[in-house]
């Protein structure tokens, strides 16, 4: 059922009824499959993609490169867990290349982000270096282009 997953990935608001028609399956069956995906952790959640720049909310985000010393037996997992448990951490990846972990963090102000790095992240044992890159503008995220809402400009021909 890769098709179902692809459809949901593109538009999580599709109802079981709509999906059942699109995939030519019973509504009940679709509901069961989705439930199973959720139970098995294949589908982990559903979220809206928000362009906060269009709102009044104060918002900054940053990408932080982190170098760490891997732990015996635990590799990077333990340290990763320590980091991702902070709610301000939006994403965390183990990377190849010049540093080990990349995390994306959100905060209200640059100061708040800087505080997180200095007080929380850098002080974690085994973290040896960090480099913070503030996001100046988001052009595209999760396949969605940020900009003015799409207007259907097609004329009636």
Partner 1 sequence: MINYEKMLSKTVCDLKPSGIRRFFDMLADMKDVISLTIGEPDFITPWHIREAAIESLEKGKTYYTSNSGTVDLRNEISSYMKRKFQLDYNPKNEVIVTVGGSEAIDIAMRAILEPGDEVILPCPSFVCYEPIATMLGAKVININTKAENKFKLTPEELKAAITPKTKLLVLPFPNNPTGAILTREELEGIADVLRGTNIAILSDEIYAELTYGRKHVSIAQIDGMQERTIIASGFSKAYAMTGWRMGYICAPEILARQMLKIHQFAIMCAPTVSQFAAVEALRNGDEDVEIMRAEYNRRRVFLLEGFKKIGIDCFEAEGAFYLYPNIGKFGLTSEEFASRLLHEYNCAIVPGTAFGECGEGYARISYAYSMKHLTLALEKIEAFVKTLRK
Residue 11 binds to partner 1 (criterion: CB under 8 A): yes
Binding of residue 14 to partner 1 (CB under 8 A): yes
Closest to 65 measured CA to CA, from 32, 36, 104: 104
In this structure, are residues 155 and 94 in contact, taking their beta carbons and an 8 Å threshold? no
Query: According to CB under 8 A, which one of 1, 16, 18, 122 is a site residue for partner 1?
Result: 18
Q: Where are the beta strands (DSSP E) in the chain?
A: 60-68, 89-94, 101-107, 127-134, 140-141, 144-145
CB of 11 to partner 1, least distance (A): 7
Among 9, 12, 21, 69, binds partner 1 (CB under 8 A): 21
User: Quick check: 104 binds partner 1 (CB under 8 A)?
Assistant: no
CB 114 within 8 A of CB 106: no
- Strand ranges inside 2-142, DSSP E: 60-68, 89-94, 101-107, 127-134, 140-141
Q: Choose the binding region for partner 1 from 9-17, 48-56, 111-119, 123-131 (rule: CB under 8 A).
A: 9-17
Helix (H) or strand (E) holding 38: helix 27-40
Q: Which positions from 118 to 157 touch partner 1 by CB under 8 A, shown as an x/- string?
A: ----------------------------------x-x-xx
Question: For binding to partner 1 (CB under 8 A), which residues are involved?
Answer: 7, 11, 13-14, 18, 21-22, 24, 152, 154, 156-157
């Amino acid at each position: 059922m890769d098709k179902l997953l692809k459809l949901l990935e593109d538009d999580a608001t599709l109802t079981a009824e709509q999906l059942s028609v699109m995939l030519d399956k019973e509504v009940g069956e679709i509901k069961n499959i989705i439930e199973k995906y959720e139970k098995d952790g294949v589908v982990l959640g559903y979220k809206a993609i928000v362009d906060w720049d269009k709102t009044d909310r104060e918002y900054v985000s940053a990408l932080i490169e982190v170098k760490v010393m891997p732990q015996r037996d635990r590799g990077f997992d333990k340290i990763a867990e320590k980091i991702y448990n902070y709610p301000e951490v939006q994403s965390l990846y183990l990377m190849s290349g010049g540093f080990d972990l990349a995390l994306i963090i959100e905060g209200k102000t640059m100061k708040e982000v800087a505080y997180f790095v200095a007080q929380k992240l850098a002080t974690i044992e085994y973290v040896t270096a960090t480099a913070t890159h503030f996001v100046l503008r988001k052009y595209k995220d999760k396949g969605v282009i940020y900009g003015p809402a799409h207007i259907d400009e097609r004329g009636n021909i």
